Structure 1
């Protein structure tokens, strides 16, 4: 009874906050006001609080710009968590735009949707990413290209770092900073989550969305660590595959460290 009462309160609060902030965000998008970059952070912080998601930040967000964050991807929760920590926009695959609920929210946060099968459109989208980073926006890339089970980092696709290279001509110092980020779901109700219970937070593609959403609402107490690693400087003479390998190695190390609860060299 108490659980469903809490869920009911969370739904009411989230609905009220959304009714207040979303029209303002849509207005900001219509006129391209810079406020559109900052409003999502407040909305996501409120959502995380009422979902019972407790965020622990390790390390610091890179202060230099242009900045691209490269993060592992276990769940739609990653978007809530990262947006609650920093003023960011996301690089997503085109299919996300058509998803119920999440597709709309992604558009309202002005995500860039990559049409991987249509090379001409991809070029325009990469240019948009480059221009927005050059203008000071922080873009988030999920280089795995899909969600995982939350226990590991899948293979990283080096081609997805092409946006960093495209931004170089638009930057004053001819460098883009790529910062690795690890999002690790570590505890549920204060108890170590472990591999068995991590699907509570993780959302691989074969899990139905509605039951997963119900589980998150009913759980009400998930701890997540957001780890910011050392940034990699991407320059004109940088090897994209080397950057990809370095970023992947740092994400894996941070992720394993937080999941295991100890430092890994």
Structure 2
């Protein structure tokens, strides 16, 4: 734990202090390489937190895509952003959080106010515009987080953002499979997951105090964004559930999530 704190304090913190004003200028000027500094930042943070992230399946490299995933905690963002240049969709409260809200805005996060039904249309339009720019958008489709043993029903309201010509929906299963090389127990999953009324300080302390954590990002076969959004949400949910169950059991992935 001490070595991780030293790494975060003397490597990640100086990089952050240097990179924040640069990233602020890049985002303000709408320059196309806005994802470069965040990618380096999240790789450093992932290393500092002991995350060992691997990919399974093939993420779409080109074309408009909405990625829909299960959600376990804020570590998901670090794991995904350390490997993929995506824009996240997050609840509006995140924008008001100290420090984290600033980071989220500089990463061009799309915020949604879940207390206002009318905000769904605005958020979907922003997602659609970002997708049309060939920037992958990632939606945690459950609308909440769990401990990583199962998948909750996917909400379809925002998935209509992908319903445009040529767009595709790609299911993503996020699975924390091992700590210190051993399969996770249920109690260890609660050290990683951010659930209930757990404070971020307690969660961060548990993460820093645990051994190296293996995380698998498993991509399913893309789904054409055509037809009914509820049907698309159900298809994506079924794919993510099959892949997550397989990864948790250390079984081979189903045909729509083959390991590469």
Which residue matches 1:171? Answer: none
Deviations 1:45-97 (A, max 9, x none): 11101211001111111134111110110010000111111100111121221
CA RMSD of aligned residues (A): 1.6
1:220 positional shift? 4.5
User: What pairs with 1:131-150 in structure 2 (closer than 5 Å)?
Assistant: 131-150=129-148
Whole-angstrom CA distance in 2 between matches of 1:32 and 1:211: 36
Which 5+ residue runs of structure 1 have no aligned equivalent? 169-173
How high is the TM-score relative to the length of structure 2? 0.92
Deviations 1:126-148 (A, max 9, x none): 22211111011110001100111
Which residue matches 1:126? Answer: 124
Which residue matches 1:204? Answer: 195
User: What pairs with 1:32-51 in structure 2 (closer than 5 Å)?
Assistant: 32-51=30-49
1:79 aligns with 2:70: no
- Kindly indicate whether the alpha-carbon contact (under 8 Å) linking 1:68 and 1:133 is maintained by their aligned counterparts in 2: yes
63-72 or 242-251: bigger deviation: 63-72
- Kindly indicate whether the alpha-carbon contact (under 8 Å) linking 1:147 and 1:203 is maintained by their aligned counterparts in 2: yes
- Kindly indicate whether the alpha-carbon contact (under 8 Å) linking 2:120 and 2:158 is maintained by their aligned counterparts in 1: no
Which 5+ residue runs of structure 2 have no aligned equivalent? 255-260
1:124 positional shift? 2.7
1:197 to 1:220, Cα distance in 2 relative to 1, 3 A: closer
1:231 aligns with 2:229: no
Deviations 1:15-55 (A, max 9, x none): 01111222211111110111113321111011101211001
Whole-angstrom CA distance in 1 between matches of 2:232 and 2:225: 7
User: What pairs with 1:58-137 in structure 2 (closer than 5 Å)?
Assistant: 58-137=56-135
9-18 or 25-34: bigger deviation: 9-18
1:14 aligns with 2:3: no
- State the SS of the aligned residue for 2:82: helix
- Provide runs of 4+ in structure 1 moved above 6 Å: none
1:120 positional shift? 4.3
- Kindly indicate whether the alpha-carbon contact (under 8 Å) linking 2:124 and 2:158 is maintained by their aligned counterparts in 1: no
- Kindly indicate whether the alpha-carbon contact (under 8 Å) linking 2:120 and 2:157 is maintained by their aligned counterparts in 1: no
Whole-angstrom CA distance in 2 between matches of 1:20 and 1:264: 41
Which residue matches 2:176? Answer: 185
1:119 positional shift? 4.3
- Kindly indicate whether the alpha-carbon contact (under 8 Å) linking 1:53 and 1:220 is maintained by their aligned counterparts in 2: no
Whole-angstrom CA distance in 1 between matches of 2:152 and 2:98: 26
- State the SS of the aligned residue for 1:40: helix
**Structure with greater helix share of residues:** 1
Whole-angstrom CA distance in 1 between matches of 2:118 and 2:205: 40
Whole-angstrom CA distance in 2 between matches of 1:12 and 1:218: 18
Whole-angstrom CA distance in 1 between matches of 2:28 and 2:195: 34
User: What pairs with 1:241-260 in structure 2 (closer than 5 Å)?
Assistant: 241-260=230-249
Q: How many residues align?
A: 254
- Kindly indicate whether the alpha-carbon contact (under 8 Å) linking 2:57 and 2:220 is maintained by their aligned counterparts in 1: yes
1:59 to 1:264, Cα distance in 2 relative to 1, 3 A: closer
